[in-house]
């Protein structure tokens, strides 16, 4: 039994801000050229004041269900990756379950920052392989605009809001590497580096939830080595090489990191899905949003081997290999 990707969906809030508009709105001493040169980011979307992570996630879930031709009543598990939940509890996944009209199964959240979608994909794949679920929604949804320090130009320009979703369905196959579906997921964490990318406080702390803090140079240094290593790990586990990869769908954090990973896999730029220029870093939502775009416009097609990889606060990092 293998988990196959039946549909991908995405949602971006209506408000779209350019670098110059963001700088003017928050009185930042920065420029479009400064931001683009360092990150590749030109635009980002921001949630409306009354929008929550579950609102964005529900919209992405409906899109994925529609593309898969599956009714919400068929979904028997919902896994949501988010660092910006609606509340400490109930889980954002349960809120989404109610909003889309899913009436059976179970739902829960996962917190692995920007790696959250890859983590959730790995858990969903395991649930399907074990026979505990047959139709699973995996959603990444974030409203990072709520946790940014708008006086810190080094971090606040990097992030945006959005949600992406994939619908996984159980499918019997011959057990070969040419079969459709998730081939393998590879997950890692090292808590010794937790403070280089974190949000101050939280629901269980004395001071309550705070703002995002990041040591950009340290994160970049870890990203380059750890992402290359975990992608090689995924390929080796499936007896594959860089030449087998058709598409790279990376976490959309920084264009320089994305380009470095493309070179590592010997992929031309046109086979690396890039949305960071238009979406900024949407954390756990970035990979499913990129998948939804590339599947929606026909770039990713049947038989294509796709590598997904991400690194985030924790530190957490991981990669997933899938054939569409």
| Same domain (yes/no): 152, 192 | no
The 3-state DSSP class for residue 322 equals strand
pLDDT, position 205:
66
| Same domain (yes/no): 228, 303 | yes
Calpha distance 313→309 (Å, rounded) = 14
Calpha distance 59→236 (Å, rounded) = 36
Residues whose CB falls within 8 Å of the CB of residue 18, separated by 6 or more in sequence, listed in order: 32, 42, 43
| Same domain (yes/no): 109, 161 | yes
DSSP 64-78: HHHHHT--GGG--EE
User: Is 70 exceeded by the pLDDT of residue 188?
Assistant: yes
Is residue 254 part of the annotated active site? The answer reads no
Residue pair 212/147 in contact by the 8 Å Cβ criterion: yes
Backbone dihedral region of 69: left (phi > 0), alpha (psi from -120 to 50 degrees) or beta? Answer: left
Mean of the per-residue pLDDT values for the chain? 95
Span 11-21, average pLDDT: 98
The count of domains in the chain is 2
pLDDT, position 218:
94
Residue 176 covered by a domain: no
| Same domain (yes/no): 284, 188 | yes
Residue of 8, 19, 45, 114 marked catalytic: 114
| Same domain (yes/no): 217, 151 | no
Is residue 114 part of the annotated active site? The answer reads yes
| Same domain (yes/no): 118, 191 | no
| Same domain (yes/no): 61, 161 | yes
| Same domain (yes/no): 188, 292 | yes
pLDDT, position 179:
85
| Same domain (yes/no): 136, 34 | yes
pLDDT tier, 174 (very low <50, low <70, confident <90, very high otherwise): low
| Same domain (yes/no): 206, 145 | no
User: Is 70 exceeded by the pLDDT of residue 207?
Assistant: no
Which of 171, 198, 227 is the C-terminal boundary of a domain?
A: 171
CATH code, 247: 3.40.47.10
| Same domain (yes/no): 226, 319 | yes
pLDDT tier, 178 (very low <50, low <70, confident <90, very high otherwise): confident
Span 77-100, average pLDDT: 97
Burial class for 259, CB neighbours closer than 10 Å (0-12, 13-18, 19+): middle
Span 129-138, average pLDDT: 97
pLDDT tier, 177 (very low <50, low <70, confident <90, very high otherwise): low
Within a 10 A sphere around the Cβ of 66, how many other Cβ atoms?
13
| Same domain (yes/no): 198, 153 | no
Residue of 8, 251, 279, 295 marked catalytic: 251
Calpha distance 36→38 (Å, rounded) = 6
pLDDT tier, 28 (very low <50, low <70, confident <90, very high otherwise): very high
Is residue 26 part of the annotated active site? The answer reads no
Which of 111, 139, 171 is the C-terminal boundary of a domain?
A: 171
Residue of 19, 45, 186, 281 marked catalytic: 281
Tens of pLDDT along 223-238? 989 999 999 999 999 9
pLDDT, position 260:
92
Q: The domain containing residue 16 runs over which residues?
A: 2-171
């Amino acid at each position: 039994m293998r988990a196959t990707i039946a549909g991908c969906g995405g949602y971006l809030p209506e408000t779209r801000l350019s670098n110059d508009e963001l700088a003017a709105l928050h009185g930042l001493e920065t420029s479009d050229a400064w931001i683009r040169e360092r990150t590749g980011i030109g635009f980002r979307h921001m949630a409306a004041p009354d929008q929550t992570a579950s609102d964005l996630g529900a919209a992405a879930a409906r899109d994925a269900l529609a593309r898969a031709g599956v009714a919400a009543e068929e979904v028997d598990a919902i896994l949501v990756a988010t660092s910006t939940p609606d509340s400490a509890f109930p889980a954002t996944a349960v809120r989404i379950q109610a909003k889309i009209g899913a009436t059976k199964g179970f739902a829960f959240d996962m917190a692995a920052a920007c790696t959250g979608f890859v983590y959730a994909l790995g858990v969903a794949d395991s649930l399907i392989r074990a026979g505990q679920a047959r139709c699973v929604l995996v959603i990444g949804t974030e409203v990072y605009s709520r946790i940014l320090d708008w006086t810190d130009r080094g971090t606040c320009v990097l992030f945006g809001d959005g949600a992406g979703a994939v619908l996984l369905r159980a499918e019997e196959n011959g057990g070969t590497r040419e079969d459709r579906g998730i081939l393998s997921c590879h997950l890692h964490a090292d808590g010794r580096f937790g403070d280089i990318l974190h949000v101050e406080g939280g629901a269980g702390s004395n001071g309550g939830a705070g703002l995002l803090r990041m040591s950009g140079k340290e994160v970049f240094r870890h990203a380059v080595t750890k992402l290359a290593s975990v992608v090689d790990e995924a390929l080796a586990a499936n007896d594959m090489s860089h030449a087998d990869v058709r598409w790279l769908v990376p976490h959309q954090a920084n264009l320089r990191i994305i380009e470095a990973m493309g070179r590592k896999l010997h992929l031309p730029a046109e086979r690396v899905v890039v949305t960071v220029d238009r979406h900024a870093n949407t954390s756990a939502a970035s990979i499913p949003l990129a998948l939804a775009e590339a599947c929606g416009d026909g770039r990713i097609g049947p038989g294509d081997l796709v590598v997904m990889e991400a690194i985030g606060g924790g530190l957490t990092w991981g990669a997933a290999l899938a054939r569409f």
